[in-house]
Structure 1
Amino acid sequence: MTIHLRPAARDDVPTILRFVRELAEFERAADKVVATEALLDDALFGDQPAAYAVIAEVDGAPAGMALYFFNFSTWTGWRGLYLEDLYVTPEARGKGVGAALLTHLAGIAVDRGCTRFEWAVLDWNENAIRFYRSKGAVPMDEWRTYRVSGDALPRLAGRA
């Protein structure tokens, strides 16, 4: 078995969207995915990319992906790398694909001068939590994530 990682290309967009949908189904939120191929194409390959993706292949077939973007910490004065989605197909799990993707992204973070590499995980996903801890990740239990979306966003913006 050979794992090969490569930057996503425009023709990977259908595969990326399939992986996003499969991940959302696993996370019990399939009905929340509204992304389309056109939206992902623009986000990843448009004039001002909002995110980047890495495709993992096992023996030449897509087996997973990592989708990430850069953020910024005023405390450190440096950028950080935020992992939005890490997905490995069920048949490729336990074969080192997830570890290879995390290692690859950590390398990107180091190469780009990032001082942080962060992501979120659902509190019930014990397998992922154990995996991340085994890689040296620590939970940020004192922080809470807040989100404004749907009708609340334009209301907050004073545009509703």
Structure 2
Amino acid sequence: MTDTILIRTAEPGDIDTIIQFIRDLADYEKLAHAVNTDRDTLARYLFGPRPMAEVLIAERQGDAIGFALFFHNFSTFEGRPGLYLEDLFVRPEARGAGAGKALLVRLAQLAVERDCARLEWSVLDWNEPAIAVYRAIGAVPMDEWTIQRLDGASLQALARS
């Protein structure tokens, strides 16, 4: 058998696998306490009448070994859409075989096919293995930009104001 990595688009039947990848990623990032998603909600936003995100699955010998969850954003300066990679995760036992890079290659292909101006993502500053991969493929940090987040009670309060 070959160790070829196959990248495919996720289907509704993959929802449990996607949730497990999300949990595994949260464990890796020491954020398991922050996972609030459930099967029905995730299925609605990934595969419902108005999908909000898409997922790619990396497989080796028929086993799901990684995933990438992404969605479109828009650059007003470019006047074109972009792709934002929310999560990329490869199971620890499968790392080093090229699945992460294969997922990034497919994302880049989708960005080009869809006339996107850019592919962007965030990485935790302590995740040196991931940062090394990103530098190797030519990604550059956006040092002058800081992510801002509004959620929970603060989001609700602003919405009510």
What's the TM-score once normalised by structure 2's chain length?
Answer: 0.97
Give yes or no for the alignment of 1:60 onto 2:88. Answer: no
The aligned residue for residue 142 of structure 1 is 144
Whole-Å separation in 2 of the counterparts to 1:71 and 1:12: 24
What is the Cα deviation at residue 30 of structure 1? Answer: 0.4
Cα-to-partner distance string for 1:103-131 (whole Å, 9 max, x where unaligned) = 00000000000011000000011111111
Instruction: Provide the identity percentage.
Output: 52
Instruction: Output one character per residue of 1:17-55: Cα deviation in whole Å (capped at 9) or x when no partner.
Output: 000000011001000000011111011101100000011
Q: For 2:41, give the aligned amino acid.
A: L
> What corresponds to 2:85 in structure 1?
83
**For residue 129 of structure 1, what is the aligned residue in structure 2?**
131
**C-alpha separation between the residues in 2 aligned to 1:84 and 1:76?**
21
Aligned position for 1:27: 29
Distance 2:39 2:56 in 1: 16
Partner of 2:108: 106
Gaps of 5+ in 1: none
- The whole-number CA distance in structure 1 between the counterparts of 2:146 and 2:158 is 20
Measured in 1, the distance between the counterparts of 2:31 and 2:157 equals: 25
Distance in 2 of aligned mates of 1:104 and 1:12: 18
Q: 1:158: how far off?
A: 1.8
What is the total number of aligned residue pairs between the two structures?
Answer: 159
Show structure 2 runs of 5+ residues with no match: none
How far did residue 132 of structure 1 move?
0.5
Q: What TM-score do you get using the length of structure 1 for normalisation?
A: 0.98
Which amino acid in structure 2 is aligned with residue 133 of structure 1? Answer: R
Displacement, 1:157? 1.1
Partner secondary structure for residue 84 of structure 1: strand
Q: CA RMSD for the aligned pairs? A: 0.7
Structure-2 residue corresponding to 1:49: 51
Q: CA deviation at 1:7?
A: 0.4
C-alpha distance after superposition, 1:67-115 (max 9, x if no partner): 1000000000000000001010111100000000000000000000001
Corresponding residue of 2:119? 117
